[in-house]
Amino acid sequence: MHLYHIAINNLRRRKGKALFILLGLVIGIATVVSVYSVVEAMKAEMSRQAGEFGANVVITPSAGELTFSYGGITLPEVMFDVERLSLADVAALEGVPSRDMIHIVAPRLLGVATAESGHNLLLAGVDLQSEFAIKPWLRLQDGQEPAAPPGAAGETSGGDKPMDVERLDLTREGLSQLALSDDEVLVGAALAKFLKVGEEDTLSLSSRDFRVRAILTESGSSEDEQVLMNLGAAQDLLQRP
């Protein structure tokens, strides 16, 4: 008789005890696997949400800065040797070794334009699809979000209106539908209220007329007080090609 024979005979005589031991092992292993799976899923979801919350890297033009102080009063910094970024720099990002780690590149040109009322307005020239993708909190008022492509999740057969709970995903999926012509702009909620303009109104910027395509929903971000337009149109308007 061998040692394993003794173990097998012992299990046969004590079937109830063996069953409870086996059940305990199964429950213990299942619990460990379940907890591990839940933790990994939570880590992945948190990483995804953190990655979607704005840009991880911001590239700005190189410049020298000097700070002066006279009589205990510190004057604003003086900029010198200011370089400029160009669209060639944006294209150069396609050739970096770690390009597969870059999810979105969103170029932005900021400047000041004068409205017909004489107020100076902050103007942002952007690539609209990448701007909305990198800032998921941006929305258009009155359900003007870009339409979801046919067959998107949440769309019902027969052309019925999708459920409101699906609107967030649909707006992200329909970004390709969001496009402006060079004579159209989006206006932040706070700025639109200040200028008293609405959708389809005309907004004069530096003696050029633009049609207000839509008003952004108030989000508490800097976009509430900005005018968004195509990057090329902003370059032309600000004379910064």
pLDDT value of position 54: 61
**To which residue do tokens 């207000």 refer?**
212
pTM summary value:
0.61
pLDDT for residue 167: 39
pLDDT at 126: 92
| Plot region of 196 (φ>0 → left; ψ -120 to 50 → alpha; else → beta) | left
How confident is the model at residue 9, as a pLDDT? 76
What pLDDT was estimated at residue 33? 94
> Could you give the 3-state DSSP secondary structure of residue 220?
coil
Q: What is the pLDDT of residue 175?
A: 67
**CA 54 to centroid of chain Cα atoms:** 5
Mean pLDDT by 10 residues, the chain (241 residues): 74 77 91 93 80 72 79 75 83 86 87 90 91 84 49 40 38 65 92 91 91 90 92 92 78
Query: In the prediction, which pLDDT does 146 show?
Result: 46
